[in-house]
Amino acid sequence: MNTSATAPETVSLGKNGPKVTPLGVGTWSWGDRLFWNYGKEYDQRQVQEAFQASVEAGITLFDTAEVYGTGDSEQLLGNFAKASDREIAIATKYFPLPWRVFPESVREAVSKSLERLQIESIPLYQVHTPFTFFMSQETLMKTLAEEVQKGRIQAVGVSNYSASQMREAQEHLAKYDIPLASNQVIYSLLNRKIESNGTFQTAQELGVKIIAYSPLAQGLLTGKYTGSEKPSGARALDPKFKSSGINKISPVIDNLQKLGEKYQKIPAQVALNWLITQGTIPIPGAKNANQAQQNAGALGWQLNSEDAQTLDQASQPWLTP
């Protein structure tokens, strides 16, 4: 069928951040052996094919972190990007470990990420979590602002920040005329608490872009799991993947399947497109080319307002924690 609108080709990360596609790729699974079984069920060849399929589909945003695979994810992404002729925007994350007490720790972390990624400047550098431990947010944001001034990072983002924490980070950065670009948070049809706890509204007020991680609820929104078929790795222990959990989310899955038939899309693509209609940038993972191609199918079309409202209503139970 003909869709009602076309998704924008690019969106800005914050007020002055880089322009990227409204759908990115999360690379937590690249190199991660503990949670995702990297090296057993899939390897470097598969994730490289996932990267290639993504860039061929026009996707430009790739999100990683220094702690993903203890640096392996950054290294893999850096290798792939260096060998590619496509221009991409890499987002990575700094983790405020308790022994990172002084600004030099931040500078060292940036240096190591730059080395693994094999680039001279990081388009988006995010704080992985709002833990303060022995370094205050003021000191951290001041140091990141200095890194922007040096040109080693281009935009500053945060992750898992509440409305008040996001506002505080913005205020600290504003002292250096640097806007907060983004807040990466868990957000999907099965986890909409950012809409009820003020995070979503505050981000809109501040001009901060929401980057949605776990946009398919770790695979639950694909419709693949039925209770009898379970995921591997740590997810196999998650009660949400049991029959009782699957039954609870069946109204959402049913609506995704019906809309998928209407738009000639699979449930995952419909779920991702709903997030795009919310003005966020979903970053689903992709462990192989097929997953990457399926994710990219969320671009180039848009749910009409009535169908987006249908999903909104079906997922009301997940508005609150």
The set of catalytic residues is 68
Nearest CA to 248 out of 293, 295, 190 is that of 190
120 secondary structure, DSSP code: S
| Cα separation, 18 vs 142, whole angstroms | 21
Asked if 147 contacts 153 with a C-beta cutoff of 8 angstroms, the reply is yes
Nearest CA to 69 out of 26, 127, 101 is that of 26
Q: Residue 117 carries which side chain, given as an amino acid letter? A: L
Nearest CA to 212 out of 241, 253, 183 is that of 183
Strands (E) located in 197-294: 209-213, 281-282
Phi then psi for residue 158, to 5 deg, are: -130, 175
| Cα separation, 19 vs 315, whole angstroms | 30
| Cα separation, 261 vs 302, whole angstroms | 14
Report the run of H or E that residue 310 belongs to, with start and end.
helix 305-314
Q: Which three-class secondary structure state does DSSP give residue 75?
A: helix
Q: With b meaning 16 or more CB within 10 Å and e meaning fewer, what string describes 168-194?
A: bbbebbeeeebbbbbbbbbbbbbbbeb
Show the tokens assigned to 237: 């222990």
146-151 long-range contacts, CB within 8 A, separation 24+: 146/103, 146/176, 147/106, 147/107, 147/110, 148/176, 148/178, 149/176, 151/120, 151/121
| Cα separation, 197 vs 212, whole angstroms | 16
| Cα separation, 291 vs 183, whole angstroms | 25
| Cα separation, 54 vs 49, whole angstroms | 8
